[in-house]
Structure 1
Amino acid sequence: MALAARRLGKAISDTARAHIAGLRTYPTLDTWMNPLTRGLARHFANQEWLKALDEIDFPYRMSDDEIAGVSCVRYETQTARRDDLVLLYVHGGGLVSGSPRVNASMILPTCHLSGVDAVGVDYTLLPEARFPTQIDQVDSVYRSLLNDGSQRRVVIFGDSIGGAIATAAMLRWRDEGVKIPAAAILVSPALDGAGASDTHYTLDGHDPLIRSNGGRNCRKLFSYYAPGEKLNNPMVSPIYGNFEGFPPMLAHVGLREVLLGDAARFTQAARRAGADATLRVYDGMFHLFHMHWSLAETREAHADIAEFIKSL
């Protein structure tokens, strides 16, 4: 959809209007899959996300670490005051781009407002590694955090495709009898590799960052991630899982997102299974708007996440 064709409601802030007008659609999946163009696509996407760090107006520190043999990044802010919790961050980027550092503007505001530090998993991207490597790496870091002697409870936080990895990991932990996280936070989660949500049709072209083509792009990406696996395998597409025994969960999504349906279906399924699941939908917002700290809508969203964490 051309930039000029983006029509916005009057309730959206002027700052958000300017952001939406300046957003550029992510490169096509074929660009990511082609080894000749993959590097440029990664560079483009990473640079766009790194720009969002310039909007952060509070002190923070990021430091590299290795946990259970997996590269990680630790996030600290000056407001840290709770040592009973730690956030485990699983970043988005379609499994082909992003990193805990590149996507740091997603998690830092929540650390700042909640007073809780975080650890981001630098899982291996596609095509260097495929399913279930990314889940295995998050699994290893999580189990290490549980057994590091601090007795801290872990809150898992996943955005976009990171939401699928985080939720699949929780299914594994529940089924294997591993202590489940204290809570889960999912932002703009991509949970259905089959691309079955109705919003892949109704909102396609209204999200300034993602084009769905009726769910075909989603099916292509998840097939690239997990070749030979059925797209309704809950470890690939967690939306098809059973969420009995899951912890309190909070899902955030924008009203322009093609992934809105995934978040709605997931929270409905979780509640049917007896889980405490809450869905927040933000008018006019786009995929991963939480990364843009200068927006009033983003500050409100992170404040809501921080209140959820404080309630624990």
Structure 2
Amino acid sequence: MKIRSIVLSLLASSVLASGVMANEDKNNLSLSTNPVPLSTAVSSEFYEFSKTIPAPDLTALEKNIPATNAEWRKMIEARDQVAIERAAKLANDLEVKIEKGTVAGVGVYWITPKTVAPELEDKLFVAVQGGAYMLNSGLASATEAMLIATQTQIPALAIDYRKAPEFPAPAARNDIINVWKELLKTRNADTMVMGGTSAGGSLSVLATQEMNSQRIATPSALYVGTPGVDMTMTGDSRFINEGLDHILGSWRGMSSAMVDAYVGELELNDPVVSPIYGSFDNFPAVYLITGTRDLLLSDTVRLHRELKRAGADAELNVYEGQSHADYIVALGTPESNEHYGELSEFIRNSLL
């Protein structure tokens, strides 16, 4: 105890000597108001990309929030239309074959890349697209699936799950489970990898927890990109990266409103919507990715630690200077290429 007191005393002296004033509120620290420049510890391509993205307007994010389902629907349809057009262009650029269908009554898109590796012909990547549990319906639900299918040379299935506000939790998770059960009727679980980004990542985790709860075989591996695994305002990055993340901007305002619509009548910390509070026993290998400016950096880090504590093989990839899901937004940059290349290798190693 004496040694600990000496160490604490030295630390306190060091802080005061550096000119940093102590905060009277021991539970809350104030962040510096100094401007944060773009990181130069990134590729020149990513740096130039970052220069084109405006800083988030935090004031705007707290205004013009839809108040009714009709207002939400108007906003969602406008955003989805843009996303669908981009997905159609991506499909054309990548020369992938896409077939729309249903599995267990759930809308899906079967994706065949231009080239399928012979050893992966009987394998499948099951994609769960992100979009704040509200966005990216229709062809937009196949966006990241097309990228992964092409890079890995593997067939993919994108699940167009039901979304808020009309269908709050656990509708999306249940759709994924129903599709998974149907797939298991014709193929083994170890021939499939599941995953996605943002809401797609967290839903993949939720679905795997539910599979374990129902004693259903789980995927060979999971891809979990910058997931929101805690619906409460918890984690350092929710505060530190507010205003730095040029994709999400802030957890307050629009993001919180979308979360509330998804959570519905459940509590924010209910494991049905916040998987960080659930069990991670018997999880397959997991590939995680985030960035130093990601509002959900803490979510990803916390998930990685819970997986490791439960004995899972979890790989955490953190990219300098990246905001939420920048690896998708900044396609073609060395960082994005590196991510999808390493993810492809992870998927292949999990299946072969």
Matched, 1:11 2:74: no
Structure number, greater radius of gyration: 2
Q: Say which is worse superposed, 287-296 or 37-46, in terms of deviation.
A: 37-46
Structure 2 unaligned spans of 5+: 1-34
Matches of 2:320 and 2:39 in 1, distance apart?
Answer: 9
TM-score, length basis structure 2:
0.79
Alignment match, 1:301: 339
Aligned residues: 307
Match of 1:115 among 139, 145, 153: 153
Aligned match of 2:123: 85
SS in 2 for 1:101: helix
Deviation at 1:41, TM superposition (A): 5.0
Matched residues, percent identical?
24
What residue is the counterpart of 1:272 in the other structure? 309
Match of 1:254 among 288, 291, 294: 291
Matches of 2:223 and 2:67, distance apart in 1:
29
DSSP-derived class of the 1:75 partner? strand
Q: Distance in 2 between matches of 1:300 and 1:48?
A: 24
1:153 is displaced (CA, Å) by 1.9
Contact 2:132–2:259 at 8 Å: present in 1 too? no
Partners of 1:101 and 1:236 lie apart in 2 by 25
Unmatched runs of 5 consecutive residues or more in structure 1: none
Q: Show the 5 A alignment for 1:75-154.
A: 75-81=111-117, 82-99=120-137, 101-149=139-187, 153-154=191-192
Q: Which residue of 1 aligns with 2:94?
A: 58
Change (3 A) 1:205 1:77: same
2:68 is the counterpart of 1:31: no
Q: What is the alpha-carbon distance in structure 1 between the residues aligned to residue 138 and residue 314 of structure 2?
A: 26
Q: How far has the Cα of 1:105 moved from its partner?
A: 3.8
Q: Shift of the alpha carbon at 1:31? A: 3.0
Question: Amino acid of the residue matched to residue 73 of structure 1?
Answer: Y
Question: Quick one: distance in 2 between partners of 1:264 and 1:275?
Answer: 14
Instruction: Write out aligned runs for 1:161-176 (5 A).
Output: 161-176=199-214
Partner SS state of residue 155, structure 1 = strand
1:219-247 deviation line (CA, Å, top 9, x unaligned): 54333212221222111100111101000
Q: Out of 111-120 and 8-17, give the one that drifted further.
A: 8-17
Aligned position for 2:82:
47
Alignment of 1:229-244 (within 5 A): 229-244=266-281
Q: Distance in 2 between matches of 1:228 and 1:55?
A: 37
Give the structure-1-normalised TM-score. Answer: 0.88
- Please tell me the residue identity of whatever aligns with 2:112: E
2:282 corresponds, among 245, 265, 278, to 245
Contact 1:52 1:293 in 2 (8 A): no
Q: Does 28-37 or 296-305 show the bigger shift?
A: 28-37
Q: Say which structure is richer in helix.
A: 2
Deviates more, 1:225-234 or 1:34-43: 34-43
Q: Distance in 2 between matches of 1:195 and 1:162?
A: 20
Bigger shift: 38-47 or 296-305?
38-47
How far has the Cα of 1:163 moved from its partner? 1.7
Structure-1 separation of matches of 2:81 and 2:333 = 20
Letter of the 1:31 partner, please give it: I
User: Could you tell which deviates more after superposition, 171-180 or 142-151?
Assistant: 142-151
Asked if structure 2 preserves the Cα contact closer than 8 Å seen for 1:68 and 1:144, the reply is yes
Q: For 1:141 and 1:160, locate their aligned partners in 2 and report how far apart those are by CA, in whole Å.
A: 20
Q: Which residue identity does 1:203 align to in structure 2?
A: N
Alignment partners' CA distance in 2, 1:45 and 1:259: 23
